[in-house]
Chains A and B, each alone.
Chain A
Amino acid sequence: MPGVLDEIKQAVIDGNAGAAKELTNKALAAKVDALEIFQVALIPAMDEVGRRMQAEEYYIPEVLLSARAMRTSSEILKPLIAGNPNMKPAGKVVIGTVRGDLHDIGKNLVAMMLEGASFEISDLGINVTPDQFVAKVNEVKPNLVALSAMLTTTMMGMKETIEALKQAGVRSSVKVMVGGAPVNQRFADEIGADGYAADAATAANLAKSLVA
């Protein structure tokens, strides 16, 4: 039933939560597999939203409208695909804003886009110490650690976190990505991060390429 899948995808791209809900229920009533809806409609829809954000066709509110439409649909689907062995997350991510920094809007948006790309997220919040990152990495064994900072005074917390991961012997088991207003590729290279992205959509693509 490709028609309805295309329609669901379009509803998410358009940020139309009402249509996304209605069409998801319609597809399920027509016996379309829940996992298929997820993989063929929702994930590609968020990919397209990310592309539009990178191309500056969509700005943050439009991305959030789409994310809301996706969530409306995925909340219906989740109970149906829970435990399905074919439903594998794209990877696990531990994310947080580093020590001394209390900004979270950017970090939250990155977490949302990663979730939209079917990553499993452990969000440690703001003002996260290197030790807290290490403890969480030991606990959930993620593929990725994502660090956010908004100030030139706190971005060194990223370096300290990477050092702490090294000290704890877990640096090689994770990829580290960094971002936030004062961060750039050069800084990411200098502190030995594996990747940098300037916005949440690029962050999702970066995450996918880092775990590929």
Chain B
Amino acid sequence: METARLLSGFPVNIELTEVWRWLGSHGRKGDPRLAGEVEEAVALAGELIEPKAAYSRLRVRAVDPSGVLLENGERLNGSAGPYLAEQFRGAEELVVVVVTIGPRLEGRVQDLFGEKRPLEAVILDATGSAASSAASRYVNGLLCEEAGNDGLRAGRIVRPGSSHWDILGQRTLFAMLPTEEIGVSLTTSCLILPRKSGSGVVPLGRHLAAEHEPSEASCRHCPNTRCIARIVDIEQPSTATGTVVKVQATQ
């Protein structure tokens, strides 16, 4: 295993509009009656989150329609092979990354449900999702910067379980990172614990084929148009990957 980098205590900026998005506001203005509660949740989250990340840069040996072959012999493939091949076309390296905000926030959410305060619980949970994605964004930014310093461009992060990559892909990712050092583990059903965590791989290369997009643009690749957290200015899943995605009302 390459030496992984571990980060902790990095800044996580939780935006109010993001909390509303994770609450399912679909671009509407948040309900003014809950503005105070949302602000309180953001302040509480500030005390509860313990952002940590582990990442590792690995050399890519080959990219072909079956997927991505790494220099270390690992493969990212399965049913997602062609999709990954498209995303990684031109990649010389990749970064495998896991980011978490730690277990304390979700523990408090559980307690609030136990105390029969579901409204506060749901608002804090959404705040945790906003924090988790903000933490991922921060780390992604850092990765792009590091790659940039080496003359490499970073592509869009690809996440197991999202878009066209089966969630079982988590096992390959977790095998490549000492996630226990940041308190993160994977269950046999491929759920990351703590739950407010994320994982993915970022292609790096001088001549990457796929454009770099901000992480939210992954909504563009997701067929779940009724998703609670869908970015509203992205109405339809794109066919940019060359795959025709069927639009379903619910999924």
Q: A101-B191, A102-B191, A153-B189 are in contact. Are A108 and B113 (CB under 8 A)?
A: yes
Residue A89 at the chain B interface, CB threshold 8 Å: no
Residue A164 at the chain B interface, CB threshold 8 Å: no
Residue A85 at the chain B interface, CB threshold 8 Å: no
Residue B149 at the chain A interface, CB threshold 8 Å: no
CB <8 Å contact, A60 and B24: yes
Residue B7 at the chain A interface, CB threshold 8 Å: no
Contact among A61, A102, A154, A198 for B119, CB-based, below 8 A:
A61
From residue 155 to 198 of chain A, which have CB atoms closer than 8 A to chain B? 181-182, 184, 198
Contact among B122, B161, B191, B250 for A64, CB-based, below 8 A:
B122
CB <8 Å contact, B119 and A151: no
CB <8 Å contact, B122 and A105: yes
Contact among A59, A67, A100, A182 for B251, CB-based, below 8 A:
A182
Chain A residues near B193 (CB-CB < 8 A): 102
Chain B residues near A65 (CB-CB < 8 A): 31, 33-34, 119
Chain B residues near A154 (CB-CB < 8 A): 189, 191
Q: A102-B191, A151-B189 are in contact. Are A198 and B250 (CB under 8 A)?
A: yes
Chain B residues near A100 (CB-CB < 8 A): 187-189, 191
Chain B residues near A108 (CB-CB < 8 A): 113, 118, 121
Residue A7 at the chain B interface, CB threshold 8 Å: no
CB <8 Å contact, B168 and A102: no
CB <8 Å contact, A60 and B122: yes
Chain A residues near B188 (CB-CB < 8 A): 100
Distance of A103 Cα from B195 Cα, bound (Å): 9
Pick from A56, A61, A100, A103 the residue with the most CB of B within 10 Å: A61
CB <8 Å contact, A184 and B190: no
CB <8 Å contact, A184 and B34: no
Pick from A71, A102, A103 the residue with the most CB of B within 10 Å: A102
Residue A39 at the chain B interface, CB threshold 8 Å: no
Minimum distance in angstroms from B157 CB to a CB of chain A: 20
Residue B94 at the chain A interface, CB threshold 8 Å: no
Distance of A62 Cα from B20 Cα, bound (Å): 12
Please, which residue of chain B has its CB at the minimum distance from the CB of A59? B24
* B78-106 interface code vs A (CB 8 A; 1 in, 0 out): 00000000000000000000000000000
Residue A43 at the chain B interface, CB threshold 8 Å: no
CB <8 Å contact, B23 and A61: yes
CB <8 Å contact, B190 and A151: yes
From residue 194 to 251 of chain B, which have CB atoms closer than 8 A to chain A? 195, 224, 226, 228, 248, 250-251
Distance of A20 Cα from B168 Cα, bound (Å): 48
**For the side of the interface on B, what is the size category?**
35 or more
Residue A206 at the chain B interface, CB threshold 8 Å: no
Residue A47 at the chain B interface, CB threshold 8 Å: no
CB <8 Å contact, A59 and B189: no
Distance of A153 Cα from B119 Cα, bound (Å): 29
Distance of A153 Cα from B161 Cα, bound (Å): 10
CB <8 Å contact, B34 and A102: no
Distance of A68 Cα from B118 Cα, bound (Å): 9
Residue A15 at the chain B interface, CB threshold 8 Å: yes
Distance of A102 Cα from B190 Cα, bound (Å): 11
Minimum distance in angstroms from B178 CB to a CB of chain A: 23
* A88-120 interface code vs B (CB 8 A; 1 in, 0 out): 000000000000111111001100100000000
Distance of A2 Cα from B13 Cα, bound (Å): 50
Residue A152 at the chain B interface, CB threshold 8 Å: yes
Minimum distance in angstroms from A190 CB to a CB of chain B: 15
Residue B125 at the chain A interface, CB threshold 8 Å: yes
Q: A101-B189, A151-B190 are in contact. Are A184 and B31 (CB under 8 A)?
A: no
19 contacts across the A-B interface (CB closer than 8 A): A59-B23, A60-B228, A61-B31, A64-B122, A65-B31, A67-B119, A68-B119, A102-B195, A104-B110, A104-B113, A105-B121, A108-B113, A108-B118, A109-B122, A151-B189, A153-B191, A154-B189, A154-B191, A182-B251
Given A61-B23, A65-B31, A109-B122, 18 more A-B residue pairs with CB atoms under 8 Å apart are: A56-B26, A59-B26, A61-B24, A64-B118, A65-B33, A65-B34, A67-B119, A68-B118, A100-B191, A101-B191, A103-B195, A104-B110, A105-B121, A151-B167, A151-B189, A152-B161, A153-B189, A154-B191
